[in-house]
């Protein structure tokens, strides 16, 4: 498996501090855009990730919905934690 997504940018789409529910728009280095959902209580936990259908999938090349990003959910989550993407997006 040669493809490995890397996060280029993260943008807060929705955040509710009281409920601990967050939605982010994630841009990957290769131009792929994803929507990710998180809960925070207080640990960050990814609940869902899906590719936005603006660009073809880098894995299967489909330009409609697919589940390819699911296999990198834990990898991407680790990048989110290591590089503190959520903290940066939430405080912006
Ligand atoms: Zn795919």
- Tell me, in angstroms, the distance from the centre of ligand 1 to residue 7's CA: 17
- How far, in Å, is the centroid of ligand 1 from the Cα of 16? 30
Burial class from Cβ neighbours inside 10 Å (0-12, 13-18, 19+) for residue 85 reads buried
Q: Give 33: exposed, middle or buried? Use CB within 10 Å, 0-12, 13-18, 19+.
A: middle
What's the CA-to-centroid distance between 63 and ligand 1, angstroms?
A: 8
d(CA 78, CA 90): 17
pLDDT of 36 reads 97
Residue 2 lies in a domain: no
Q: Is 30 left (phi over 0), alpha (psi -120 to 50) or beta?
A: alpha
Tell me the CA–centroid distance for residue 28 and ligand 1, in Å: 14
| Rounded distance from Cα 68 to ligand 1 centre (Å) | 4
- Does residue 21 fall inside a structural domain? yes
- The answer as to whether 90 is a domain residue is no
Residue 76 lies in a domain: yes
Please report whether residue 39 resides in a domain: yes
What pLDDT is recorded for position 1?
55
Q: How many structural domains does the chain have?
A: 1
Residue 81 included in any domain: yes
- Integer Cα distance of 63 and 21 in angstroms: 28
Report if residue 1 sits inside a domain: no
Domain that residue 72 falls in: 7-85
Q: How remote is the CA of residue 64 from the centroid of ligand 1, in Å?
A: 8
Low-confidence ranges of the chain (pLDDT < 70): 1, 92
Q: Which residues contact 15 (CB under 8 A, 6 or more apart)?
A: 21, 22, 23, 90
């Amino acid at each position: 498996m040669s493809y490995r997504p890397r996060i280029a940018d993260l943008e807060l789409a929705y955040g509710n501090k009281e409920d601990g529910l967050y939605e982010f728009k994630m841009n990957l280095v290769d131009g792929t855009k994803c929507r990710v959902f998180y809960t925070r209580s207080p640990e960050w936990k990814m609940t869902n990730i899906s590719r936005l259908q603006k660009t073809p999938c880098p894995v299967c090349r489909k330009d409609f919905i697919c589940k390819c990003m699911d296999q990198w959910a834990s990898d991407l989550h680790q990048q989110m934690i290591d590089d503190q993407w959520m903290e940066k997006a939430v405080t912006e």
